[in-house]
Chains A and B, each alone.
Chain A
Amino acid sequence: MLLMVCITLFLYTAALALANGTRLHSETLLISAEYFIPFIAWLVGTLVVQRNIRRKLPNRDPWILPTAAGLAGLGMLTIWRLSPELGLKQSAWFLLGCGLFLIALNITDLIKILKTYKYVWLLLGLILIGLTFIIGVNPTGSGQRLWLRIFDFYIQPSEPLKLLLIIYLAAFFADQIRPNVSWLSSVFPTLVVVGFAGLLLIAQRDLGTASLFIILYVLMLTVTTQRRRLLWVIPALAFLAGTIGYFAFDVIKTRVDIWLNPWLDTSGNAWQLAQAQIAIASGGLIGTGPGLGSPQFVPVAVSDFIFTTIGEELGLLGTSAVLLLLLVLVIRGINIALSSKTTFGRYLAFGISAYFALQSIFIIGGNLGLLPLTGVTLPFLSYGGSSLITNILAVLLLLRISTETSPEDIPEKVRSPYRWVTAIIAGSFMLIAVWNGYLAFPNQEELIARAENPRWAVYDRYSPRGEIYALSGEKLVEVHGTSGSYELWVNEPQLSNTLGYAHPAYGQSGLQSSQYALLRGYAGVPWEIRRQHELLYNQPPAGLDIKLAINMALQNKADELLGDHKGAIVLSNAQTGEIYAIASHPSFDANTMSEIWESLMQRTDAPLLNRATQGSYPLGTLASTLAYGSLIQSNHAFDLGSSQDLFRLDPYCYRAMQNENASLNAFQFGCESVAEEILGVTDPTLLQADLEAFGLFSAPDLAIETAQPSPALTVEQLDQNPLLVMDITVSPLQMAMVAAAITNDGVRPEPALVNSYLTPEGDWQALGPGKTVTAVYTPSLAAEIQADLRSSTQTIWYQTGHALINQKEPLTWYIGGTTPEWSATPLAIAIAIEEDASDLALTIGNTLLNLSATN
């Protein structure tokens, strides 16, 4: 038996030792030999114990030691994997535990001594707990002060107290001639003791242990008095205590709240629980492989949450094995109780088994979100010397009791409550396994895809992301380094808004986020290669490179022209919607995220916002362009040539006209009075259809995040107040597509940012062919609008407009495009500048459109 456990643990050790080399894709065999330290410590300790008990306890139960030792070894290795420092300490604790085991093994009438001096043990336990009130500390420096410090070691008295209390209760009940539920003789004295211990723990805010005691007490009362009905006290008590605690203690309230809904507050209290579930999901059926997962993302994975580490790295198979090992231990323990010669032995063995079972259920249930989280340890596995040594000594007691068996069968009446408790425990374990399976399968995809899952950052270090290119091959984002230290480097930091960042602490944005599947090697890579990488390395394969439609010459010019002004530019191909330049200022440098994050967060000018796509600006006087088509369609007489005298020139459009000093077209320069007049005489039904067709009420289908579209206006609303059109909020990207529709014979394309990706075979595969186009106007209507907006000197059309952001900050619009006389690719542009700068907008627009002819 023990040999099989040795082999299993050796294999686990060897797999852990290979993990680092695997992660780095090492060609040669790379072994991290330090994993053999805990293994050897375990082997030595276990074999010495085994040799001694073989001699001293020949008739012991054969299953207790292998299962308990197996669990302890698994724990030591897993702790080492999470933190070699704590792993070393745990190994030392284990050896110390084995030493104490051997010493206690030599006390032949140990059980009798325990029974005789029951009050001494009880008092000892209570004094230890009491001491924590006076000289208690917390190794982390803050939080509950549940530890006692002896030199450089910390012990947690509530751990031995659990065992001491079980010994006391077993001895007390065994002394009773016939334990029954009579208030005075049995319930009262024990209740006082348990209640006192419970109160001490509640005062210490160690509520997990307190509730554990109470349930343990009820279970022991049930088997000693042979009253099955007492089991109903547990759910009743739990409910009562939970409800009272919910309102009385903040700790309980938070715990219960996050238990009921762990996803509400994942950045705060529920972070741990959310991470725990994600870790379990990441493990799936067979796990990521020992040492290959990222279980350290779960806070305190070494102690309270060690189960999630096993769940991640060994998967459902691993956690089921742990549950089975614990269950075997518990059931063997209860069997020992049933065949014990003395009643004290019976109650003690039962108490210890129930203690193992309850601790496991409490903490695993808490880890998986089945129960409110209580900070009890997982027997044998969790980091913690007090807990490990207590458990080792409990095993010694079980072994000792198992040698003193009675050959006779015990009556059904006595056996029945043990059966019930066993069935309830086994049922709870089963429920835990099923829920674990649910997290690891049906819920897996959803959990892994959650924003709280930071594992992608680890993948990025070990397996390169795809790089990002501009259309003519300039590298926009590069990957530097080798496996284990890959890093992204943005060559064109002014494009950071669009390219986005992928920072372990701050997450992902822009294209890095939206093109994650391609860049990270999930999409476009054959399924079997992906599977192979996951199985072997727990990493996705190298990501695929993508190419954007961006033209760097135009992009650089756009950035230069916009300069320090707040605003955005989108320049696109009017026919295909391909975006040649996209600028959003102010921007940031994605390469320096770690240094600038704090200041970015404090800035009021929102540098992280991509104004080109996420900006939400009021349409303002540009509304006139959108209404103009419907005006012509309804054959309304509206002579622009003569209109100039009729309309008041507001300062904005007047200045724009002055700068251009060409045609005095009040419509082209976005005078408020013109916009109001046009909106006022337009047929609302036609206008509504046009606004809809221009895509003002729908988010553009783009590779990066876009602004929430404005709610659609109804015909009735437009009929009542046509000026509402001026308040519609749009992004520069949407307006670029409006300009594209006017330029491109009335047909609006969908914008396209990503051009293609590089397949693993080395071909550029075009993305997004066959995107939908929407016909807004007939070609003749589009031509007519263009004609009224065309430049007097160049082969372009344009219109400026202005609006007030939030009714106070000025905003200047510019949209434009090429006219049919233009010989090259038709272009469309939209510019938004968050100031009163029509001259600047005109300069940028006209310069960019003209520059495009040469690029």
Chain B
Amino acid sequence: MNAMTGLVLRILLFISLYAFLGVAVWLLWKSVTGARLRGGTIAIPILTLATTIDSEQIIQSYTSSDVLIGRNPDCDLVLVDETVSGRHGRLTYHLNQWWYEDLKSTNGSWLDDLKIEEPIVVKDNDSIYCGDAVLKIYIKPLK
């Protein structure tokens, strides 16, 4: 009596266990493949930054989604200027926009004459002032 009931319970146990796992794995798989179908990787409009430091013109283009600006050599755009902080600001691409964020720099960052406190969206042809340095922004629109 016990043995037969036990065996039936064991079979049901495996069925319900694997039913749960089946659904879980199937949904997980769908979410993985779904992400791939949506593209997985997102296209980033190429960002070009132009500035003049000590009458030397610097123009750099970036394909990454994250560009760090400052005086430190580990920054993506190194601005050798005393009014620029070590890590002055960063440009990041998310929500289909390029955003500029001030990293609590000593002299602050300005978009035209607006002091940048919160991350803001930048557009093609905008100019950002990092201390005394002027950063001209060019964004190549996506096809």
Binding site for B on A (CB under 8 A): 1, 4-5, 7-8, 11-12, 14-15, 18-19, 21-22, 25-30, 63, 66-67, 70, 177-178, 180, 182, 286-287, 289-290, 292, 314, 317-318, 321, 324-325, 328, 331-332, 335, 406-409, 411-415, 535-537
Contact = CB atoms under 8 A, between A and B. Distances in A.
Nearest to B101: A177
Interface in B72-130: 74, 87, 90, 93-96, 103
B38 interface: yes
10 contacts: A4-B23, A8-B17, A15-B9, A26-B2, A30-B2, A287-B10, A324-B21, A328-B21, A411-B42, A411-B66
A414 B93 CA distance: 12
Interface string B1-29: 11111110110111011111101110110
A205 B3 CA distance: 46
Interface of B: 1-7, 9-10, 12-14, 16-21, 23-25, 27-28, 31, 38-42, 44, 64-66, 68, 74, 87, 90, 93-96, 103
B90 A411 contact: no
In the A-B complex, the 5 residue pairs with the smallest Cβ-Cβ separation, listed nearest first, are A21-B2, A536-B3, A11-B13, A412-B41, A411-B65
A462 to B, nearest CB: 12
A754 to B, nearest CB: 32
B14 A7 contact: no
Contacts of A8: 13, 16-17, 20
A409 B13 contact: no
A328 B9 CA distance: 25
Contacts of A407: 95
A321 B9 contact: no
Contacts of A26: 1-2
Given A4-B19, A15-B10, A29 B2 contact: yes
A407 B96 CA distance: 11
A15 B87 CA distance: 63
Contacts of B95: 407-408
Nearest to A324: B21
Contacts of B40: 409, 412, 415
Q: Is the interface of A mostly helix, strand, loop or mixed?
A: helix
Given A67-B24, A324-B21, A289 B103 contact: no
Contacts of A536: 3-4, 6-7
Contacts of B7: 289, 535-536
Contacts of A19: 2, 6
Contacts of A12: 13
Contacts of B68: 177-178
B64 A413 contact: yes
Contacts of B3: 22, 25, 536-537
Contacts of B4: 536
Given A5-B20, A182-B74, A335-B31, A411 B1 contact: no
B42 A409 contact: yes
A413 B66 CA distance: 10
A27 B5 CA distance: 12
Contacts of A314: 13
B21 A321 contact: yes
A331 B28 contact: yes
Contacts of B28: 63, 328, 331-332
Nearest to B75: A178
B10 A413 contact: no
* Best-surrounded residue of A22, A28, A182 (most CB of chain B within 10 A): A22
A411 B44 contact: yes
B24 A63 contact: yes
B10 A289 contact: yes
Contacts of B39: 409
Nearest to A411: B65
B42 A22 contact: no
A14 B9 contact: yes
B51 to A, nearest CB: 20
Given A14-B9, A178-B68, A335-B31, A66 B42 contact: no
A4 B20 contact: yes
B105 to A, nearest CB: 11
A182 B73 CA distance: 11
A412 B2 CA distance: 56
Contacts of A328: 21, 24-25, 28
* Best-surrounded residue of A8, A14, A406, A407 (most CB of chain B within 10 A): A8
B82 to A, nearest CB: 20
* Best-surrounded residue of A287, A408, A535 (most CB of chain B within 10 A): A408
A27 B4 CA distance: 11
B1 A177 contact: no
B13 A15 contact: yes
Contacts of B94: 406, 408
* Best-surrounded residue of B21, B90, B94 (most CB of chain A within 10 A): B21
Contacts of B5: 18, 29
Contact of A27 (B1, B44, B103): B1
A19 B10 CA distance: 11
* Best-surrounded residue of A18, A25, A414 (most CB of chain B within 10 A): A18
A817 to B, nearest CB: 55
A411 B41 contact: yes
* Best-surrounded residue of B5, B10, B27 (most CB of chain A within 10 A): B10
Contacts of B65: 411, 413-414
A328 B94 CA distance: 29
B1 A29 contact: yes
Nearest to B5: A18
Given A21-B2, A30-B2, A180-B74, A1 B20 contact: yes
Contacts of A415: 40
Contacts of B44: 411
Given A11-B13, A177-B103, A321-B18, A21 B1 contact: yes
Contacts of B87: 177-178
Nearest to A21: B2
A190 B61 CA distance: 33
Contacts of B18: 317, 321
A346 to B, nearest CB: 13
A768 B44 CA distance: 83
Given A22-B2, A408-B95, A7 B16 contact: yes
Contacts of A411: 41-42, 44, 64-66, 93
Contact of B14 (A21, A30, A286, A414): A286
A781 B96 CA distance: 109
Nearest to A74: B17
A432 B18 CA distance: 19
Given A15-B6, A411-B66, 5 more contacts: A1-B24, A11-B9, A28-B1, A178-B68, A411-B64
A331 B65 CA distance: 25
Contacts of A63: 24, 27-28
A11 B21 contact: no
A18 B9 contact: yes
A70 B20 contact: yes
A409 B64 CA distance: 14
Nearest to B19: A4
A699 to B, nearest CB: 43
A620 B38 CA distance: 91
A23 to B, nearest CB: 8
* Best-surrounded residue of B20, B21, B28, B66 (most CB of chain A within 10 A): B20
A290 B19 contact: no
A5 B18 CA distance: 10
A414 B66 CA distance: 10
